[in-house]
Amino acid sequence: MPSKFARFFTYGASISWSFPSSRGNKYILVVVDYLSKWVEAKALPTNDSRVFCKILKSLFARFGNPRAIISDRGENRASWSDKLDDTLWAFCTTFKIPIGCTPYKLVYGKACHLPIELEHKAYWALKHCNYDLLTTGDHRKVQLNELNELHDQAYENSLIYKEKPKRIHDSKIKDRIFNVGNRVLLFNSRLKIFSGKLKTRWTGPFTITEVFSYGTVELSQTDGPNFKVNGHRLKHYFGEDIPPMVVPDLQTIPKDN
């Protein structure tokens, strides 16, 4: 597998907040490895940069320095810090469809047996228990040698998983044919300019002045210069201009005494 797809190559980091204080902690720093989906989380009393860097340094010492850290840089309940370790355990030992296995297996090369399975002597967990140190060591070496193949399979599974929603998305895209002189509406994806989510995101109408072969369309507007947009952001406008309201002259009729 190319090095750029290795484990712990790219991190996604985010700080969650708005939780009730738990033992002085108000924030959760969550770091996810993009390939293995391995998750690390830490309860924090504050969300300043010094605490953030301290946690990241501890991760670098365990897993090595990543090539990139991706974060949305966005803004960051009472016993949540006590349940954080249990949540991480459940997440990292749960089968993930995009990679075709659990994050635990992708990182450590073996299945994870829960303590309750060993306590109640579950057959599928006990049948793998071998107290012969030599045999166990040889089996562990085989598991570690299979990690590279497991990484390749996880990467291929993630590509297949991403391809399915892409096909569904592309199948819903309808080809629109635009000609010079057509009137169209423009989809504006800058959500911050809209005060309410029920307000329309389509602006216009605009008039098409030129259509390019590579999908770009040039639009004209009455109060500004022409500009170019992607044709996927347009749809035909079939309405008519609203005529200005004409208020007829009103005559005042004097009131009879």
Domain residue ranges of the chain, discontinuous segments joined by +: 1-77, 94-172, 182-191+199-236
Residues comprising the chain, all counted? 257
Average pLDDT, the chain: 76
CA 254, chain centre distance (Å): 70
Is domain 182-191+199-236 classified as CATH 2.30.30? yes
Q: Which two tokens stand for residue 203?
A: 């602006």
pLDDT band at 201 (very low <50, low <70, confident <90, very high): confident
Q: What is the pLDDT of residues 105-121, one digit of tens each?
A: 888 877 777 666 666 56
Q: CA-to-CA distance for 198 and 187, rounded, in angstroms?
A: 14
Q: In the β-sheet with 27-33, what is the strand arrangement from edge to edge?
A: 39-44, 27-33, 10-16, 68-70
pLDDT band at 2 (very low <50, low <70, confident <90, very high): very low
Please report which residue ranges of the chain form alpha helices under DSSP H.
49-63, 84-92, 103-108, 115-119, 123-126, 133-145, 147-171
Q: Which two tokens stand for residue 36?
A: 């293995």
- The correct CATH number of 1-77 out of 1.10.357.10, 3.30.420.10, 3.40.47.10, 3.50.50.60 is 3.30.420.10
Burial of 36 (0-12, 13-18, 19+ CB in 10 A): buried
Q: What is the pLDDT of residues 18-61, one digit of tens each?
A: 667 788 888 888 888 888 888 888 888 887 778 888 888 888 88
Q: Partners of 42 in the beta sheet?
A: 29
Helix (H, G, I), strand (E, B) or coil at 111: coil
- Going by the DSSP 8-state scheme, the letter that residue 214 receives in this structure is T
Question: Which amino acid, 103?
Answer: P
Q: CA-to-CA distance for 114 and 93, rounded, in angstroms?
A: 9
Confidence at residue 83, expressed as pLDDT on a 0 to 100 scale: 79
1-77 against 182-191+199-236: fold identical:
no
- Does residue 193 carry a pLDDT above 60? no
